[in-house]
Amino acid sequence: VSVVSKETTEISVGMSHGASLSGKVVAHGSLDPIQGAIISMGNRKASGFDAIMKNGLSGANVTASDKDGNFTLQGIKPGMEWLSVTADGYSDTSIKGKPLEEDEVRNDVTIKVRQGAIIQGIVYDRHNQILAQRMVGGFSADSEDFWQTTTDENGSYQAKNVKPGNY
């Protein structure tokens, strides 16, 4: 744009509202609605969770489900295809879908989340002494999951909401 003194320059700007995606988060099997699930959208598998970690619920493309499990994401950039969900008592879920197009409205998406598993135990050293305040973790290549926790004063640990897999 070139601006000249004492002249009016007209500029037209076209802006997109972005795409929107709405649906419901339910428990796998029972189809009970999940209240308070955090839903986010991104362009790679972990991008939704990255957005939550960086921006919390105030970040773009992040919302929470209502008491009936319903949610709406608005202002989504074109090309976003990964939907990520985290909910208390359930293992984190990422789903790859058809990339959203500019100003697309996609409704009636149902996201089924699985109840998370619990891994627990007691940590001992080679002399059978309890190890307190030690980090314990697991990695699963098949479920692409990682968890970690710390033992308590009795050497006990518990990891909740773990995805099914081999750790």
Q: What are the pLDDT tens digits along the chain (167 aa)?
A: 777 888 888 877 766 678 999 999 999 999 999 999 999 888 777 655 565 566 555 555 889 999 999 999 998 888 888 888 999 999 888 889 899 999 999 999 999 999 888 999 999 999 999 999 999 999 988 777 788 999 999 999 999 988 888 88
Closest listed residue to residue 38, CA positions, set 80, 79, 76, 94:
94
Q: How far is CA 124 from the centre of its chain?
A: 34
List the structure tokens of 42: 């991104």
Beta bridge partners of 85: 39, 93
| Sign of the alpha-carbon dihedral angle for 23, 73, 70, 147 | positive
Helix (H, G, I), strand (E, B) or coil at 35: coil
Cα distances from 6 to residues 9, 48, 152, in angstroms, run 10, 49, 74
Q: What is the side-by-side order of every strand in the sheet holding 70-76?
A: 70-76, 19-27, 105-113
pLDDT in the model for residue 143: 73
Q: Which whole-number Å values give the CA distances from 107 to 7, 16, 49, 80, 82, in the listed order?
A: 48, 19, 22, 15, 16
